C-alpha cells in the first residue's frame, strides 16, 4: 500500500508546473529556419576586382541582398552570411566534355 501511494506522489510531482514560469511557454521551442538553396552563378576574381553573382545579383565583398551578405570572395568559393549564419557557396562543377578523334 505504501509503495502504491509513493508511485502516485512521484507521478503527481512530475505533473506540477513551475509557478514562476509564465503560462503557455512549455511547448514554445524555436526551431531554426531550414537552410535555403542559394545559387552561386559566377565569380569574377582578379587582383583589382572581386565580384560574385548570387541569385542573379552581382555583389562585392560587404554588399548584400535579401538577408545575404558577402563576407569574402575567393577564386572558387564565396563566404556569406545568410540570416546571420555563415555559409560557403561553391560554384557548380561543369560536366567534363570529351572530344572524339
**Global pTM value:** 0.60
Cell numbers that stand for 45 in this block: 576574381
Partners of residue 85 on adjacent β-strands: 82
Q: What is the model's pLDDT at position 8?
A: 52
Burial class (CB in 10 A: 0-12, 13-18, 19+), 92: exposed
Q: What is the model's pLDDT at position 90?
A: 94
Encode pLDDT of 40-97 as tens digits.
999 999 999 999 999 999 999 999 999 999 999 999 999 999 988 999 999 987 777 7
- List Cβ neighbours of 34 (8 Å cut-off, separation of 6 or more): none
Amino acid at each position: 500500500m505504501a509503495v502504491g501511494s509513493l508511485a502516485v506522489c512521484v507521478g503527481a510531482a512530475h505533473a506540477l508546473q513551475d509557478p514562476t514560469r509564465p503560462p503557455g511557454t512549455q511547448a514554445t521551442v524555436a526551431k531554426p529556419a531550414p537552410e535555403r538553396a542559394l545559387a552561386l552563378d559566377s565569380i569574377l576574381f582578379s587582383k583589382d576586382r572581386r565580384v560574385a553573382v548570387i541569385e542573379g545579383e552581382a555583389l562585392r565583398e560587404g554588399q548584400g541582398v535579401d538577408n545575404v551578405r558577402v563576407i569574402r570572395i575567393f577564386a572558387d568559393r564565396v563566404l556569406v552570411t545568410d540570416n546571420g549564419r555563415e555559409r560557403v557557396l561553391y560554384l557548380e562543377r561543369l560536366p567534363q566534355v570529351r572530344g572524339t578523334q
